Structure 1
Amino acid sequence: MKSNLKIAVTLIICVLAIACNKDKNQEKINGDKNQLTQIFPKGEKGSKDLFTGNAYNTGLVDADSVFTTAVGNVYFQPGARSNWHSHPSGQILIITDGVGYHQIEGRPVEIIKKGDVIKCPPNVRHWHGASADVGLQQLYIVPNTEKGIVNWNEAVTDKLYQSAK
C-alpha cells in the first residue's frame, strides 16, 4: 500500500512540475496578485453544509483496488473554508497557489501558501481554506481509502476564522 501512495505522490509532483513550468509568466495573470493560476478545472461548487463561502472541488484520481488513494483539487475563493473534518487515514495537502489558513484542533491557526505541504494526521479534526483577501488552490491526497475518506463536522466559526488574520 505504501508503494502505491509513493507512486501516486510522485505522479502528482511530476504533473505539477510540468504544469508549473509551462509558462512562468502565468503566475501574474493580468497583474492581479489575487488572481490564482488555474492548473486543473475549477470543478463543482462544494455544499453549503460542508463549506463556508465558495469552494470548488474536482476529483483527479479516484481510489480503486490498486491505488487506494483519492486525489483532487480544491479552489477556495477568498474567505471560503471547509468545516471541521477528519480523515481515517489522514490527508496530505499540497498548496499550489494562493494564501490561506489551516488548523489542527488544539493547535494555533497556521498561514499556508503556495509550495507548502501539510500533513493532517489520521482521525484528527482540522480545517483549511483561503485567506480573507486571497484565494487558495490545493491538491488533496487521501490515502488508504478502504478505511474511509472523510468525516465532516460543524462549520468553523467566523470568530475563529477571523482570529487567523
Structure 2
Amino acid sequence: MVVKWWCKKHLIATIMRYNDSNNLILIVNVYAPQQEYIKKVVWSQLTRIARNWPGPLCFLGDFNAVCSPEERLREIIDFNSIDSFNNFISNAGLIDQLLVNDEFTWEGPLGKFSKIDRVFINAHWANLWPNAILQSGQPDKSDHKPIIWGEKLCY
C-alpha cells in the first residue's frame, strides 16, 4: 500500500507499507540526465535520501552511467563519469543487484551497448529478500530492456 510519494526532476519516490504491517520500504525510480554536472546533483540528492532512510530502500531505473568500461561496448568511455558514479554508490551505501542473464540493458545504433539501467538496494532490503534475483527481459517498444526483479527466473 502506498503511504506517500513525491516527484522531483529525475526521480519519483514512493514509500510503501508491505505485508500488511507497519514496516515501510522506499522505492525511488530514477531517470538520470546525460549531462555529467547534472548527474552529480542527482547523485547528491540520492545519497542524502539513502543516508536518511532508516529501512529497506531500492533505487532503480535509467542511471545513464556505468560502473566500469566493460559495461559499454562501442561507446566512448568517460572515466571521470565512472569514478563519480562509483563514488555515489559507495557513499550512499548501495548494493548493485547483478543481472543474471545479460551484460547490457540498452542497445543503441551501430551496435552500441551499455548497462545503464540498474537496481540498487541497501542492506535492509537485501536482508528482507536474500534470494531475490534480477534479470532482463526482451525490449518491446524501447531501446532499453525491461528489468524483472523476483525470487524465480522468468525464462
| Both proteins in one fold, TM over 0.5 | no
TM-score by length of 2: 0.31
User: Normalized per residue, which structure has more helix?
Assistant: 2
TM-score by length of 1: 0.30
